[in-house]
Structure 1
């Protein structure tokens, strides 16, 4: 009997201890990040990314306040882009004394001296006086980390990716014992929905610790993005904790205004995420002969894209247009006749496309053989030399009909010239789909100047959807056509013109840019109407923009609409 009571008491005691353990663990231990603990040291945190854009200073301060309650550091190195490209070296450092009213800015003289001793660094004061990437952040760091000594460094924005490894290694050797803070603003000068596409790419690069993708991201400093990822890898801090992401247009509830976006986050201990997000941006027909060439023959050809700028198509895995003609080896004739239907584009075409950050073009159309087969081959060659992929051909040859673009979710792009007859690409679609790729079909099809698709287009789209196509985006009609979703596959029947000289109607001077964020569960599409003025494309605003978007998305369910220019579709 006594033995039974003793056994019962022992079991009861163990059960009580176990219950107390679970109660304490459940109610009193912070499980939001299992690697964090109160007053954790610098060894527990990797690089921190914050904005210098003061429209989000309250979020920046909230973020730093949260971090300072968890992490302590006696040393901070603060990196910013050199916004004004001033100074005598790639990197600049300073020991200047800063006046922040009641705040004491403690400069780390020892680390400043270490950094200044590097061959590619100069110690200068004047470039820091107006450098808002440092000024806007320095006071907040001093407020929330009052015991820390700070080393301010600014980095030029023209340092090539291949030069960053050596620069980073030497900087890290000098100040790797410090908490690293990277002052970075993200997407610039684009509408809110495009900023979100850019940021999806950037955040994916950060989560995946992808140095190359981080350098290509749409930010004010590819160099700092790359260095932040390198710092995370060097310190074995593989988990990116996203605190906040937004842009000024989203805050203002304005989808037309130019924006600046921000990402706030930090690396810590923990497993690396596998972010499967890829992005793509498409524009319509590009024709650089006739009146377009005439208008820019004595100027840099890339100026044709000056109203779009070189940031809109950046920060994407795939940025593509339909190139409606061959590229010449020699100077082309200045022939502005409207009945000139044999196109030949100037030698500067690859430079203009590279300025726009285009990395792919479709050659599957009825004009790429206007200079014969030799002209087509030259076009492919000069595009390859400019690192621009060409997909498709005027005769649908099998060896060029598809290309795969690497990314977290690989994209298979199939370009087909449907005007010469049905291409029967279903097997190609099925093959890519079975490989787990996101399949996009880019057909040259339909009837010129028709605002609504014809039956043959829908019939082809339905066949491709059944074969496994995830997205269909068309060209050729030279006007924007309608949009529909076929069993979960979005079909943009025609993007219309992007650069053309068809000035005889309003509709031929209009087009669409379509951006896509591709994830495992859904695809988010954003539509950006453009207008052509003086042979130059620009984003559309106001009433006409609203009319185009309303007509385009009128049959989309309200549950799929994010705002007036963006929808989300679940992937089958």
Structure 2
């Protein structure tokens, strides 16, 4: 009798979901089959809840898998190959800038950077102060260093207009690098990249809140960038992507250049993205490192600064590092290893620099404490 009542309850709930002012459509055979599956799933869930309930009414919860292999993902900031780097790479090759740091990048299961340049030989540039481009061969430096994925959602991948963006996409498609955040149309630009690591499904999204013009927005039939200004679309995209993922990682281009702390709007946006289903959010664009925060135990790194920029960078602009996210049984932990940009290479600076940088980042974070390189929430 209990099971019969449960069946009737499921059918009642399904029927009650159609309100009087909703548009009514005739289901196809495929839709009808999906409805049957959902109905069967609801009945099965009710049956399981009856069978698993203990004498005090508590329902058993899924235990963590002790044999589960954690996943380590390295994330870094902005990468470009212009100015002094052109001469350095001509002399030493595209691998040279990463020679010191690649040993640590390669320890990760997956590594991510922000590709802040077009990869093209197109000469017609968008009218702006700085325009960056590079040759496809320089992507080999990223690949040799251990990188697997680049974000294209920023204010430089369309420096050489639509043609430059399409060349960039073609160059990446011809390489082993994955990407997200731009595409030949809106659907492609907002689509996640999906990767399977240690039996888990991870989906990476990229958006930019820094774009020179609405002409850069990806639209139907128009190449462009996944705009982070379209907050509702971003949140809806995260919600939809989360349904088919074990983890959703978001790379967001945002903030003020050379600002040590994020704008309050960015903090609010980050919390909304977590509420929508993001498991971690990483930012870039300020060209300096910013602090960290957790929302509902989900980590946010507001800016990873520059990672490979020409030798004109100094001081705060030359401070960089590797952010490590460890994904383990639904939890995401975070740690940071400071590095430094010097003479067109990413180099170590010793223990004193590490201590100073970690203290600086802790002072510019929200509700966290740093023990050695590990970042913990104290909210």
Pairwise CA distance, 1:439: 1.1
Structure 1 pair 525–348 and aligned structure 2 pair: CA distance change class (3 A):
same
Structure 1 pair 371–522 and aligned structure 2 pair: CA distance change class (3 A):
same
Structure 1 pair 394–452 and aligned structure 2 pair: CA distance change class (3 A):
farther
Among 196, 204, 213, the residue aligned to 1:406: 196
Q: Is the 8 A contact 1:276 1:409 kept in 2?
A: no
Show the counterpart of 1:324. 116
Hey, what's the Cα distance between the residues in 2 that align with 1:543 and 1:294? 32
Among 438, 448, 460, the residue aligned to 2:247: 438
Show the counterpart of 1:415. 206
Q: How does 1:94-493 map to 2 (within 5 A)?
A: 275-309=68-102, 311-329=103-121, 341-393=130-182, 397-401=186-190, 402-407=192-197, 408-420=199-211, 422-424=229-231, 425-493=234-302
Cα deviation per residue 1:245-290 (whole Å; 9 max; x = unaligned)? Answer: xxxxxxxxxxxxxxxxxxxxxxxxxxx9852522211111001011
Hey, what's the Cα distance between the residues in 2 that align with 1:511 and 1:389? 23
Q: Secondary structure at the match of 1:490?
A: strand
Structure 1 pair 549–533 and aligned structure 2 pair: CA distance change class (3 A):
same
Q: Secondary structure at the match of 1:381?
A: helix
Hey, what's the Cα distance between the residues in 2 that align with 1:387 and 1:506? 34
Cα deviation per residue 1:52-105 (whole Å; 9 max; x = unaligned)? Answer: xxxxxxxxxxxxxxxxxxxxxxxxxxxxxxxxxxxxxxxxxxxxxxxxxxxxxx
Q: Secondary structure at the match of 1:501?
A: coil
Hey, what's the Cα distance between the residues in 1 that align with 2:241 and 2:185? 17
Show the counterpart of 1:205. none
Cα-Cα RMSD? 2.6
Hey, what's the Cα distance between the residues in 1 that align with 2:278 and 2:304? 18
Pairwise CA distance, 1:394: 8.5
Structure 1 pair 300–284 and aligned structure 2 pair: CA distance change class (3 A):
same
Q: Secondary structure at the match of 1:370?
A: coil
Show the counterpart of 1:567. 375
Pairwise CA distance, 1:556: 7.2
Q: Secondary structure at the match of 2:158?
A: coil
Structure 1 pair 568–396 and aligned structure 2 pair: CA distance change class (3 A):
farther
Hey, what's the Cα distance between the residues in 2 that align with 1:444 and 1:287? 15
Q: Is the 8 A contact 1:409 1:519 kept in 2?
A: no
Among 342, 348, 370, the residue aligned to 1:533: 342
Cα deviation per residue 1:300-352 (whole Å; 9 max; x = unaligned)? Answer: 1111111213x32224332110011111348x9xxxxxx97111112322211
Pairwise CA distance, 1:395: 9.7
Hey, what's the Cα distance between the residues in 2 that align with 1:323 and 1:426? 23
Hey, what's the Cα distance between the residues in 2 that align with 1:545 and 1:460? 30
Hey, what's the Cα distance between the residues in 2 that align with 1:291 and 1:323? 17
Hey, what's the Cα distance between the residues in 1 that align with 2:330 and 2:246? 14
Structure 1 pair 505–499 and aligned structure 2 pair: CA distance change class (3 A):
same
Pairwise CA distance, 1:390: 1.4
TM-score (norm 1): 0.47
Among 315, 318, 335, the residue aligned to 1:509: 318
Q: Is the 8 A contact 1:522 1:568 kept in 2?
A: no
Pairwise CA distance, 1:467: 0.6
Question: Which 4+ stretches in 1 moved above 6 angstroms?
Answer: none
Cα deviation per residue 1:426-474 (whole Å; 9 max; x = unaligned)? Answer: 1121122222421111100000011111122112101101111111100
- Structure 2: which 5+ residue stretches go unaligned? 1-64, 212-227
Pairwise CA distance, 1:385: 1.8
Hey, what's the Cα distance between the residues in 2 that align with 1:465 and 1:551? 25
Cα deviation per residue 1:170-207 (whole Å; 9 max; x = unaligned)? Answer: xxxxxxxxxxxxxxxxxxxxxxxxxxxxxxxxxxxxxx
Structure 1 pair 489–552 and aligned structure 2 pair: CA distance change class (3 A):
same
Structure 1 pair 429–379 and aligned structure 2 pair: CA distance change class (3 A):
same
Pairwise CA distance, 1:393: 2.2
Q: Is the 8 A contact 2:252 2:283 kept in 1?
A: yes
Structure 1 pair 273–538 and aligned structure 2 pair: CA distance change class (3 A):
same
Pairwise CA distance, 1:521: 4.7
Q: How many residue pairs were aligned?
A: 289
Q: Is the 8 A contact 2:241 2:248 kept in 1?
A: yes
Q: How does 1:69-88 map to 2 (within 5 A)?
A: none
1:545 aligns with 2:337: no
